[in-house]
A = this chain, B = another copy of it.
Amino acid sequence: MGVAASFALMLAAPALVVAADAPPAGLPSWNDGLAKSAIIDFVTRVTTEGGPDYVTEVDRIAVFDNDGTLWTEQPMYFQGMFINDRIKAMAPDHPEWKDKEPFASLLKGDMAGVAAAGEKGLVELAMATHAGMTTDEFTKIVKDWFATAKHPRFDRPYNEITYLPMREVLDYLRENGFKTYIVSGGGIEFMRPMTEQMYGIPPEQVVGSTITTKYELQGDTPVLMREPKVDFIDDGPGKPVGINKFIGRRPIFVAGNSDGDYEMLRWVTSGAGPSFGMIVHHTDGEREWAYDRQSHVGKLDKAMNEAEQRKWLLIDMKADWNRIYAFEK
């Protein structure tokens, strides 16, 4: 995740969707080569008791960006698709949106008009769809969307548009005693309903952007109301801040795909002990998308420039992955 942090303000809720098939053991979707070997070598080193790089199990923390690292972020962040769908679904109850930007442009399908409203406009769209309900209500909205919405290119539910090789890395790390976390610019309550089923990552191991919530009584029943106010943006320099706040110790493994992950990559790979940083480079325009320095979504420039110097592993999606999605036959 990189630009459009405004689309990253939204929070989270739980899921009711079809379970994606579990990835096979090991790293079978990775072609043999330097990338695969580097991952295995690192895990072997930190789990070899008595070895110079041994790390006790409790300190084996791994953090993963989500958009563009664990699942696709094209043609736009999936949370942006969610906002788009929700505005359309809510429009009958909001006749005033017909004459109000950026709602009017969105409802006409005029994305240039939406973009013209700038960051302020995007925040308005985000808040209209993410605030004003209880946390339980938002959870249900998110689950329902995942159960019905489909990705425009692949015609499949968004929770299936995940990278099988990365799910294999998650499993491989957990088998080796790692605790795996998501650290994403996306809304924490947009991710949490889905991450257990998609990645085997429970809600409490998801770090993301938050809006504020407020404790209230509805009659005699306590609820948490979602307010239209940004609490925390977990992107760029916010990512190490989020890691420190939510996890409270420095991870030893980090995966990202964009300059929005740069500071997190720096922070994780600056610890005193062994550490491992990897960047998913989107190089496959046929099976997925190819983009980096010039992209508005997931721009990868500075982090790529420094990858060699910082010893971060640059994954070549096209060359290193023999499968991208589990639904490929």
Contact = CB atoms under 8 A, between A and B. Distances in A.
A100 to B, nearest CB: 31
Contact of A263 (B215, B221, B267, B270): B215
A213 B221 CA distance: 35
Given A204-B249, A222-B263, A241 B215 contact: yes
A202 interface: yes
Contact of A248 (B192, B212, B247): B192
A247 B222 CA distance: 17
A251 to B, nearest CB: 10
What is the interface residue range for chain A against chain B? 35 or more
Given A222-B270, A270-B221, A214 B189 contact: no
What does DSSP make chain A's interface, helix, strand, loop or mixed? mixed
B224 A241 contact: yes
Interface string A203-216: 11010001011110
Nearest to A272: B136
A213 B245 contact: yes
Contacts of A237: 214-215
A256 interface: no
Interface string A54-72: 0000100100000000000
Contacts of A241: 212-215, 224
A162 interface: no
Given A135-B244, A222-B267, A249 B214 contact: no
A188 interface: yes
Interface centre among A203, A248, A267 (most CB of B within 10 A): A248
A140 to B, nearest CB: 13
A203 B245 contact: no
A231 B204 CA distance: 20
A102 interface: no
A246 B246 contact: yes
A266 interface: yes
A260 interface: no
A248 B210 contact: no
A122 to B, nearest CB: 23
Contacts of A238: 215
Interface string A234-263: 000110110011111100000000000001
A12 interface: yes
Contacts of A247: 203-204
Contacts of A192: 248-249
29 contacts: A12-B248, A14-B249, A58-B196, A61-B204, A179-B204, A188-B248, A192-B248, A192-B249, A203-B247, A203-B249, A204-B246, A204-B248, A206-B248, A210-B245, A212-B241, A213-B241, A213-B245, A215-B237, A215-B238, A215-B240, A215-B263, A215-B267, A221-B270, A222-B270, A224-B240, A224-B241, A224-B244, A231-B245, A246-B246
Given A188-B245, A212-B241, 6 more contacts: A192-B249, A203-B249, A215-B237, A215-B240, A222-B270, A231-B245
